[in-house]
Chain A
Amino acid sequence: MFRWLALALLAVLWLAPGPGRAQLADEALTALTSTSFNSIREGVEALAASGHPRAQSIILALQAGKLFLRGDKVLFIKDEDGSVIEAATGAAADVPASALKPVRVNNAVRGAIDAALGALRLFAPDAAARLQAAEAVFRSRDPAALPALQRAMASEPDAKVKRRMEQAHATALLFLPEAKESDRLAAVMTLRARGDIEARSTLGNLTGQTQAVAEAAATAITAIDRNLQLWSLLQSVFYGLSLGSVLLLAAAGLAITFGVMGVINMAHGEMVMIGAYVTFVTQQAMKAYLPGIYQANLLFAIPLAFIVAGLIGIAIERTLIRWLYGRPLETLLATWGLSLVLQQAVRSLFGASNRDVDTPAWMSGATELGSLTLTWNRMYIILFAFLVLAALMAALRYTSLGLRMRAVTQNRQMAAAMGIRTPWIDALTFGLGSGVAGMAGVALSQIDNVSPNLGQNYIIDSFMVVVFGGVGNLWGTTLGALTLGIVNKFLEPVAGAVLGKIVVLILLILFIQRRPRGMFPLKGRAAET
């Protein structure tokens, strides 16, 4: 109770521009006129703490070398253009330049200026600026900021900013030699609650603490480490999910063509690449003709990529694949040849170098969740991957094309005998798989370089996903993609990116030994050939 009272009193004291405070400001200004650097430093600190309305301007002027002193110990601010104002009031003054000599600073004063400015920003009208200031003070670990912090905390309306200020306060307190042990212990707890790498480094840098505080700091550090580990784990999961969803996008189409038709399409990666180039072309066209809705370019690129890649897919099926049914290995070779042709064609059309594809404003940037950094483009890709997956599953389950496709998967002859036009189903299935690959290309254009080799970088991974997941169903593909993505990202910090990938490949080769047909194999007699 008493504490609250005292606090309230203090707040009133700080806030009210009463005589006490005015006097404080005057003293501070006087100190600035001294010739001793020490006094000037104290003057800066005092001015910052005084709540003087022009404190920030004066200190900024001092920092910029624009603060001058007249013989009668009055401070003036002289701008580059030669205009002079009185420092304390801001009133214009007509003083000849010759009468002024600069207030000089040394390193100690500069340090005080920085801290003071930091403290002053704690009162900025903009909450984000205050947050930043609190963070800066937190990093400076400067006990001199304590009074300003206390004042700022008392008036801070934003809970998040206030918490930051409390943390800064706790840090500053730990570095204030005369602070009480109980306060220090409380400060350690505050930092422990913050729990990030900064808090850890502050706690790690404590010196000259009593044993109780040192012990508390040590336990806090272990607690923070555990906490940090958890966050980095979560971050890996996020990266893994993100990679996994990219793989899922790339592999979903493959799972359809391979799963339904038993066709290994080595040119699948090139369908992805074409999707990425469709995005590029769409953006260029919209820049030129529809600049007003340019931000929505991806919404146009997605269906366009689906259609373009899908049509190319149908054309490939009609002209090439259909002659090779039942000869999977030959199909593999022919489609590989096709992939070379497509790559070279794109290279001739668009050049071999990377093409710039913009990321729309609404997809750039990042958001923080605890200690996690979640970039928007990756979040959208994860979302997109799952939307595509859901749409595919729905299409397979509820549309008549899906029904026929499943019929053809399960028993081609029987389906044909039932009057299903299997050649058409094959063409459409292949088109669907290619179209999905095209959409994957749109997503990839947001996180990878758009070049003719784009597809090559994903084809082996996509095959791994399909092989791992099994061709039985899309769930297998999903699980395969996410598992591979996450395993990859977990191995990366331990083994490095390249070695991590090698390990994943070897694990996969070993996995295949146990489950030659993937996690979810097709069952029944159809699968035995």
Chain B
Amino acid sequence: MTEADTLLYLDGVTVSFDGFRALNGLSLVLEEGEMRAVIGPNGAGKTTMMDVITGKTRPDTGSVIYQAGTDLTKLDEPAIAALGIGRKFQKPTVFEPQTVWDNLLLALAGDRRPKFSLWARESAAERARIEQILETVRLPEQRHRRAGDLSHGQKQWLEIGMLLAQEPRLLLVDEPVAGMTDAETEQTAELLREINLTRAVVVVEHDMAFVRALGVKVTVLHEGSVLSEGSIDHVSEDPRVIEVYLGR
């Protein structure tokens, strides 16, 4: 593996809240264009890891290197988003009073500064792109509805759509299929694989069937550090993983 292939490199990241270590010397390497599933019991630190990558939480020690050279721990959220890192939250967060269309419009890649947005008009290209995303996330009928009125699953989809609209190089997806039916879960897996053709993806998920369906390298987090890494079959046979999930 050459350095040029490395997209994201977490090095010895430690985060503590009032003495409790949510992340404990976590190290992880993600390659360009890779899809990675991250699993682990509740409280393992998965969401905290995403918080650190996206700049929401500053680690006590350790660094997060993006595209060989940029230390993300020195940047704030908008700067990191501008570097092409998008995030879907565990609890779906969309702009509730605004329409599905506007939600996507706001997420669309482009100039984020006030002086641009004051004068911005919806261009034909933007409209086409939004239409396309609406198709992808299966929400074309809902375009004029308030995002707050959507069902839980639809909100999840909308959020994934917003993520796509951002056109990031790296997507961080926290529990995308929580609350979805089996069919929807299957569709989501398909969508993520499709996205992965052009971008790197990190998926956090508890649903083992879903992870298995993705068929990618799996990282198991436990008490803030990596417990095991490898194919789904490899990790599910790892005695330590079994102990963590079944023991105690």
Provide the bound-state CA to CA distance between A524 and B19, in Å. Answer: 12
A523 at the interface (CB under 8 A from B): yes
- CB contact list, B1-48 vs A, under 8 A: 17-18
- Digitize A503-529: 1 where CB-to-B-CB distance is under 8 Å, 0 elsewhere: 000000000000000000001100000
Q: Measured between C-beta atoms, what is the minimum distance from B27 to chain A in Å?
A: 25
A523 partner residues in chain B, CB cutoff 8 A:
17-18
Provide the bound-state CA to CA distance between A523 and B18, in Å. Answer: 8
Provide the bound-state CA to CA distance between A524 and B48, in Å. Answer: 13
Q: Measured between C-beta atoms, what is the minimum distance from B233 to chain A in Å?
A: 35
A524 partner residues in chain B, CB cutoff 8 A:
17-18
B18 partner residues in chain A, CB cutoff 8 A:
523-524
- Digitize B32-73: 1 where CB-to-A-CB distance is under 8 Å, 0 elsewhere: 000000000000000000000000000000000000000000
Interface size on B, residues (CB 8 A): 2
Q: Measured between C-beta atoms, what is the minimum distance from A47 to chain B in Å?
A: 83
Query: Which chain B residue has the least Cβ–Cβ distance from A524?
Result: B17
B17 partner residues in chain A, CB cutoff 8 A:
523-524
Chain A contact residues: helix, strand, loop or mixed = loop
Provide the bound-state CA to CA distance between A523 and B20, in Å. Answer: 12
Provide the bound-state CA to CA distance between A523 and B17, in Å. Answer: 9
Q: Measured between C-beta atoms, what is the minimum distance from A406 to chain B in Å?
A: 16
Q: Measured between C-beta atoms, what is the minimum distance from B181 to chain A in Å?
A: 27
- Digitize A226-252: 1 where CB-to-B-CB distance is under 8 Å, 0 elsewhere: 000000000000000000000000000
Provide the bound-state CA to CA distance between A524 and B17, in Å. Answer: 7
Query: Which chain B residue has the least Cβ–Cβ distance from A523?
Result: B18
Q: Measured between C-beta atoms, what is the minimum distance from B8 to chain A in Å?
A: 25
Q: Measured between C-beta atoms, what is the minimum distance from B156 to chain A in Å?
A: 21
Provide the bound-state CA to CA distance between A253 and B184, in Å. Answer: 52
Provide the bound-state CA to CA distance between A105 and B118, in Å. Answer: 95
Provide the bound-state CA to CA distance between A524 and B16, in Å. Answer: 11
Q: Measured between C-beta atoms, what is the minimum distance from A88 to chain B in Å?
A: 90
Query: Which chain A residue has the least Cβ–Cβ distance from B18?
Result: A523
Provide the bound-state CA to CA distance between A11 and B17, in Å. Answer: 79
Provide the bound-state CA to CA distance between A524 and B18, in Å. Answer: 9
- Digitize B109-133: 1 where CB-to-A-CB distance is under 8 Å, 0 elsewhere: 0000000000000000000000000
Q: Measured between C-beta atoms, what is the minimum distance from A51 to chain B in Å?
A: 79
Provide the bound-state CA to CA distance between A524 and B22, in Å. Answer: 12
Query: Which chain B residue has the least Cβ–Cβ distance from A528?
Result: B56
Q: Measured between C-beta atoms, what is the minimum distance from A471 to chain B in Å?
A: 17
Query: Which chain B residue has the least Cβ–Cβ distance from A525?
Result: B17
Provide the bound-state CA to CA distance between A262 and B190, in Å. Answer: 44
Q: Measured between C-beta atoms, what is the minimum distance from A353 to chain B in Å?
A: 50
Q: Measured between C-beta atoms, what is the minimum distance from A414 to chain B in Å?
A: 15
Q: Measured between C-beta atoms, what is the minimum distance from B20 to chain A in Å?
A: 10
- CB contact list, B111-159 vs A, under 8 A: none
Q: Measured between C-beta atoms, what is the minimum distance from B193 to chain A in Å?
A: 33
Provide the bound-state CA to CA distance between A4 and B48, in Å. Answer: 85
Q: Measured between C-beta atoms, what is the minimum distance from A470 to chain B in Å?
A: 15
Q: Measured between C-beta atoms, what is the minimum distance from A497 to chain B in Å?
A: 41
Provide the bound-state CA to CA distance between A159 and B76, in Å. Answer: 71
Query: Which chain A residue has the least Cβ–Cβ distance from B56?
Result: A528
Q: Measured between C-beta atoms, what is the minimum distance from A476 to chain B in Å?
A: 16
Provide the bound-state CA to CA distance between A6 and B18, in Å. Answer: 76
Provide the bound-state CA to CA distance between A435 and B93, in Å. Answer: 40
Q: Measured between C-beta atoms, what is the minimum distance from B45 to chain A in Å?
A: 14
Provide the bound-state CA to CA distance between A523 and B57, in Å. Answer: 13
Provide the bound-state CA to CA distance between A489 and B17, in Å. Answer: 38
Q: Measured between C-beta atoms, what is the minimum distance from A394 to chain B in Å?
A: 24
Q: Measured between C-beta atoms, what is the minimum distance from B77 to chain A in Å?
A: 14
Q: Measured between C-beta atoms, what is the minimum distance from A339 to chain B in Å?
A: 31
Q: Measured between C-beta atoms, what is the minimum distance from A512 to chain B in Å?
A: 19
Provide the bound-state CA to CA distance between A523 and B22, in Å. Answer: 15
Q: Measured between C-beta atoms, what is the minimum distance from B52 to chain A in Å?
A: 15
Provide the bound-state CA to CA distance between A240 and B117, in Å. Answer: 51
Provide the bound-state CA to CA distance between A269 and B189, in Å. Answer: 58
- Digitize A66-99: 1 where CB-to-B-CB distance is under 8 Å, 0 elsewhere: 0000000000000000000000000000000000
Provide the bound-state CA to CA distance between A520 and B149, in Å. Answer: 39
Q: Measured between C-beta atoms, what is the minimum distance from A138 to chain B in Å?
A: 62
Provide the bound-state CA to CA distance between A515 and B192, in Å. Answer: 41
Q: Measured between C-beta atoms, what is the minimum distance from A526 to chain B in Å?
A: 12
Provide the bound-state CA to CA distance between A192 and B18, in Å. Answer: 55
Provide the bound-state CA to CA distance between A142 and B200, in Å. Answer: 98
- Digitize A431-475: 1 where CB-to-B-CB distance is under 8 Å, 0 elsewhere: 000000000000000000000000000000000000000000000
Provide the bound-state CA to CA distance between A69 and B18, in Å. Answer: 94
Q: Measured between C-beta atoms, what is the minimum distance from A211 to chain B in Å?
A: 68
Q: Measured between C-beta atoms, what is the minimum distance from A422 to chain B in Å?
A: 22
Provide the bound-state CA to CA distance between A503 and B236, in Å. Answer: 64
Q: Measured between C-beta atoms, what is the minimum distance from A522 to chain B in Å?
A: 11
Provide the bound-state CA to CA distance between A524 and B20, in Å. Answer: 11
Q: Measured between C-beta atoms, what is the minimum distance from A218 to chain B in Å?
A: 59
Task: Give the 3 A-B CB pairs with smallest separation, nearest first.
Answer: A523-B18, A524-B17, A523-B17
Question: What are 4 inter-chain pairs, A to B, with CB distance below 8 A?
Answer: A523-B17, A523-B18, A524-B17, A524-B18
Instruction: Show the binding face of B for A, using Cβ within 8 Å.
Output: 17-18
